Amino acid sequence: MEKTVPKSISDLIARYYQSPEFLGLKSSTKTTYRGILERFRVEHGSKSSVSMARRHVKAILAAHNDTPSAANNLRDRIKALMDLAIDLEWRADNPVRHVKPIKTRSAGFHTWTEEEIEKFYSVHAVGSTAHISMTLMLYTGAARADAVKLGWGNVDGDRIRYRRQKTEDNGGVLIDIPVHSVLRSALVACPIKSFTFLQTKAGKNRSANGLGNSMRSWCDAANLPKCTSHGLRKAIARRLAEAGASPHEIMAVTGHTTLAEVTRYTRDASRPMLADEAITRLGRI
């Protein structure tokens, strides 16, 4: 077994894994970061962290120009490593701070259209796991990680309540919304004794990744290659915006914590429809 070279990239990564910044992260985030850093370690682990310069960082990121989002994620991880190197007094500066992120043109996950929603429902019958999953996420705005945990225990009369896992580090944003009639009709297929709505036939909890993989298969079966489970969160935000909901009303449903996030999610709202409503409001003045 090769020894780790002192003050090398590999040495720095090992120390980062023991740092308070890394240890304080959620398990899922740790797994994601480890994946990025271990790939980086394979290529550059033996190199000196002390001598890394701006030109080196630019060259490393340039090798990932075809995947700008991945390149920017790598940039963020290298930046964290270099900050740690400063704390360890291995170096006095962070060369990543002088390297701009690569511009991306992606608008993010595709927002489901009404036609795509109808197409999905036409293929997956009422009562099927696909139908229940779709309806649960579409009418609550729940992310996969939250949807797989929802069950009858979250339902209180005509309301459904849960705390978003993504914000659990800050206590978790409380979602407290009415149960839409379409959702209630779909949930009738879920046994009252079931622990979660989307549990497997064996009675085990479905994982977030498992739900994502299933949604991919269900969407492919409906010939919807652009559609994903995450796009359903954007779809409910779009629907709410088109119905005239205010940004703060949308935030109360989706659990977003900033107006910027809501704006990003609702950019696909029907502009003609919103324009009609806007001019109608103008006519009342």
pLDDT score for 274: 66
- pLDDT of 106 reads 57
Q: Which residues contact 90 (CB under 8 A, 6 or more apart)?
A: 7, 12, 49, 50
Question: Angle formed by the axes of helices 54-62 and 68-87, to 10°?
Answer: 150
* Residues of the chain falling short of pLDDT 50: 1
Q: In what order do the strands lie in the sheet with 155-156?
A: 155-156, 159-163, 174-178
Contact between 80 and 49 under an 8 Å Cβ cutoff? The reply is no
Query: Cβ distance 230 to 265 under 8 Å?
Result: no
Q: How far apart are the first and last CA of the chain?
A: 78
Picking from 86, 90, 64, the residue whose alpha carbon sits closest to that of residue 75 is 64
Which domains, from first to last, does the chain contain? 9-98 (1.10.150.130), 114-283 (1.10.443.10)
pTM value > 0.75: no
Q: Residue 176's beta-bridge partner residues?
A: 161
Per-residue model confidence (pLDDT) at position 166: 74
Torsion over CA: 157, 208, 139, 261 (sign): positive
Q: Which residue has the tokens 């991880």?
A: 77
Handedness of CA 226, 229, 230, 236 (dihedral sign): positive
Contact 160/177 with Cβ under 8 angstroms?
Answer: yes
pLDDT (tens digit per residue) in 12-61 = 999 999 999 999 887 878 888 999 999 999 999 999 999 999 999 999 99
Cα dihedral 227, 234, 200, 206 sign: positive
